[in-house]
Amino acid sequence: MGEMNRYQVYVKLVVVGESPDDAIEYATTALDISDLLDQDGVVGIELIDDVDSVELADEDENDGEDIV
């Protein structure tokens, strides 16, 4: 097997809440209870928990369907 490299892959997470603070709380909880770190190749997760980085999602972006 060749040398392993590290890559950063950005993921967009859409949550429903009343405020940016709610959104950060729900995202943090979802990451905490997930088994994402147990998946092959995943070695770290960092949530940018700056309220200024939270933005409203465009409702038309996914036509109301879940993004998987």
Host domain of residue 40:
8-54
Number of domains in the chain: 1
pLDDT at 67: 53
Which residue, chain included where needed, has tokens 């999602």? 57
Question: With 0-12 CB in 10 A as exposed, 13-18 as middle and 19+ as buried, what is 57?
Answer: middle
Q: Give the amino acid at 41.
A: G
Instruction: With respect to residue 68, please indicate whether it lies within any of the assigned structural domains.
Output: no
Mean pLDDT computed over 25-32: 93
1 lies in some domain = no
pLDDT at 26 (0 to 100): 94
pTM of the model: 0.70
Q: Which two tokens stand for residue 33?
A: 């209870």
**Could you tell me if residue 42 is inside a domain?**
yes
Banded pLDDT at 12 (limits 50, 70, 90): confident
